[in-house]
């Protein structure tokens, strides 16, 4: 069992939880994710790590209530426990292989959309600790839905905020703010975008115009998280790739976002995902969901 050390409401339907998981906390790296279950029969929910503290042995996750299973996670309180907390899974962000000297010579821009702001944080924190220059753009529907702004301000070189309704910061989408910054003379070597698929698609289209290398973190449907079932497949550079073992980060200019969004739409509700997962379990993980579609 994995005890919940702390629980906080960040915004409407968005909760932060610190989980005691010393082995995961010791080996987690920026960009990786965990798969969580509230009980032995619960759905396996993939969540990108939002922070980790090896000294305390804790890992921070941020969950948005979108269906039965995520509501179940969010209904738990500090003192209660999660049944499963598997990880760290997936490949860490590529930049962690760079030397501090290489990192100091690079200008990064991170685009964080809504709940996707949480997994951006450990990446920016890591880069800050290694001397890189990191601008961050956070986008949300309204000021009430902004999360992690204080934490991000402490590690970002410059923090820019955009809200769809103009209630805080720039009035418009993150892509419009990025274009504005570039028009004002900002130059970047690397862009990382994490948020809703539609945002990542349009960030990729925007940065392609400027030949700005861009990485996205894909939150595909996952079942086993071990590369066996095929549920998390995406097309990158014309090839099928499995998000859970080959991702979650990919070259944004190579991702087939329209296909990824179509597949996400097939399982739009958590209930539809559960049905797909039950079918997968019943087949003993022999089939690869939708591989022939």
Q: Which residue, 149, 134, 250, is CA-closest to 197?
A: 250
Q: Does 196 bind ligand NAD (CB under 6 A)?
A: yes
- Backbone φ and ψ of 137, nearest 5°: -110, 120
With beta carbons less than 8 A apart as the criterion, state whether 183 and 103 touch.
Answer: no
In the complex, least distance from residue 227 CB atom to ligand FES, rounded to whole angstroms: 5
Q: Which does 139 bind (CB under 5 to 8 A by kind): ligand FES, ligand NAD, none?
A: ligand NAD
> For the stretch 15-48, what's the b/e string if a residue is b when 16 or more beta carbons lie within 10 angstroms of its beta carbon?
bbbbbbbeebbeebbbbbbbbbbbeeebbebbbb
Interaction of residue 140 with ligand NAD, rule CB under 6 A: yes
175 binds, among ligand NAD, ligand FES, none (CB under 5 to 8 A by kind): ligand NAD
> Diameter of the chain by CA atoms?
56
Peptide bond into 132 cis (omega under 30): no
Closest to 186 (Cα-Cα) out of 121, 230, 255, 137: 137
- Is 198 a binding residue for ligand NAD by CB under 6 A? The answer is yes
Identify what 195 binds: ligand FES, ligand NAD, none; CB under 5 to 8 Å per kind. ligand NAD
The window from 89-97, 148-156, 218-226, 259-267 that contacts ligand FES (CB under 6 A) reads: 218-226
Does residue 159 bind ligand FES (CB under 6 A)? no
One of 120, 162, 212, 244 touching ligand FES (CB under 6 A): 244
Q: Which one among 217, 225, 241, 267 touches ligand FES, defined by CB under 6 A? A: 225
In the complex, the smallest distance separating the C-beta of residue 261 from ligand FES, rounded to whole angstroms, is: 18
**Which residues are registered as beta bridge partners of 213?**
190
Q: Which of 26, 19, 24, 27 is nearest to 83 (CA)?
A: 19
Q: Which of 107, 141, 186, 274 binds ligand NAD (CB under 6 A)?
A: 141
DSSP string over 29-56: -TT-EEEEESSTTS--EEEE--EEETTT
Task: Please report, in angstroms and rounded to a whole number, the separation of the first and last CA atoms in the chain.
Answer: 38
Candidate list 60, 123, 133, 175; residue touching ligand NAD; CB under 6 A: 175
Judged by CB under 6 A, the residue of 228, 261, 266, 287 near ligand FES is 228
Q: Should residue 219 be labelled a site residue for ligand NAD when binding is judged by CB under 6 A?
A: yes
Q: How many residues bind ligand NAD (CB under 6 A)?
A: 22
Q: How far is the CB of 33 from ligand FES (least distance, A)?
A: 11
Q: How many residues does the chain have?
A: 293
Q: Which residues bind ligand FES (CB under 6 A)?
A: 222-225, 227-232, 242, 244
């Amino acid at each position: 069992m994995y005890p919940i050390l702390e629980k906080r409401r960040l915004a409407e339907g968005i909760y932060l939880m610190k989980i005691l998981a010393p082995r995961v906390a010791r080996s987690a790296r920026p960009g990786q994710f965990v798969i969580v279950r509230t009980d032995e029969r619960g759905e396996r929910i993939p969540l990108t790590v939002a922070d980790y503290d090896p000294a305390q042995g804790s890992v921070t996750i941020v969950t948005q209530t979108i269906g039965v299973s995520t509501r179940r996670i969010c209904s738990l309180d500090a003192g209660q426990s999660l049944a499963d907390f598997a990880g760290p899974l997936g490949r860490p962000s590529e930049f962690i292989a760079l030397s501090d000297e290489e990192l100091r010579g690079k200008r990064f821009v991170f685009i964080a959309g809504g709940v996707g702001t949480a997994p951006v944080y450990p990446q920016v924190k890591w880069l800050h600790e290694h001397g890189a220059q990191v601008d961050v753009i956070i986008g949300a529907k309204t000021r009430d839905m902004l999360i992690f702004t204080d934490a991000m301000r402490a590690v970002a070189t410059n923090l820019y905020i955009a809200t769809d309704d103009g209630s805080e910061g720039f009035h418009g989408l993150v892509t419009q703010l990025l274009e504005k910054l570039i028009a004002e003379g900002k130059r970047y070597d690397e862009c990382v975008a994490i948020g809703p698929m539609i945002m990542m698609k349009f960030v990729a289209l925007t940065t392609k115009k400027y030949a700005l290398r861009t990485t996205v973190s894909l939150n595909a449907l996952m079942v086993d998280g071990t590369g066996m079932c095929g549920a998390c497949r995406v097309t990158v550079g014309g090839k099928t790739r499995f998000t859970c073992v080959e991702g979650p980060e990919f070259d944004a200019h190579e991702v087939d976002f329209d296909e990824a969004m179509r597949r996400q739409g097939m399982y739009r509700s958590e209930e539809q995902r559960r049905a797909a997962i039950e079918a997968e379990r019943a087949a003993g993980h022999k089939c690869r969901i939708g591989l022939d579609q």
